[in-house]
Structure 1
Amino acid sequence: MSGTRQVGIVLVSHSGPVAESVAELARGLAAGGVTAPVAPAGGLPNGGLGTSAELIGRAAASVDRGAGVAVLVDLGSAVLTVKAMLAEGDELPEDTRLVDAPFVEGAV
């Protein structure tokens, strides 16, 4: 699939381990099939609970394959962080969208 435009997925959780686990689950349920690029963005840079614009931006850049980035979040304040980043206009790849979907089910 090299060179193919894909939508990337970023999973924003207040907990690093939760974001990583949901990303692993989504990849695992693909049963070895082709998957969209998925990146977790959980917790704070120091490992604490919370959301980090820095981690979200890095994760979005890592999954950007030219067709946009879908961002799923776990709780309300993560929504606020992503909306603020989208309003800035230069912190996330072009065509990044906040997706209104359940965190785990939406990732899968």
Structure 2
Amino acid sequence: MHEDAARAFYAAVDEGAYDQLEELLTPEFVHDRPDQTLRGREAFISFMRDERPLTETRHDIEAVYVGESELAVRGTLRDADDERLLKFVDVHEGEARISAITTYTTQVASRLTEQ
């Protein structure tokens, strides 16, 4: 897994660039996060595009730790007003494309789970 792919993932999410996001993920992509697990690239993209409570967010990446087949990204998720929603560590897995991300957070902000 390359750092560039991880950075491109956050940029695509933040910009709502779902075609670019699709290119970065394997069809079997799984996102395991504290509040839910999204299985499959299409389910993940659908959630990001149509279901997440806050779409105007920004991932500030503070550090990237690269391993052999995975990497970890530490950062802060901010809202449109630059308020901190949560701190996170995402562990990305995959080779040419991202096959899984496991998210660890300091807390799940209530505004991210309200629907």
**TM-score after normalising by structure 2:** 0.24
Q: Which has the higher contact order (CA 8 A, sep 6+)?
A: 1
Q: Counting helix residues as a fraction of each chain, which structure ranks higher?
A: 1
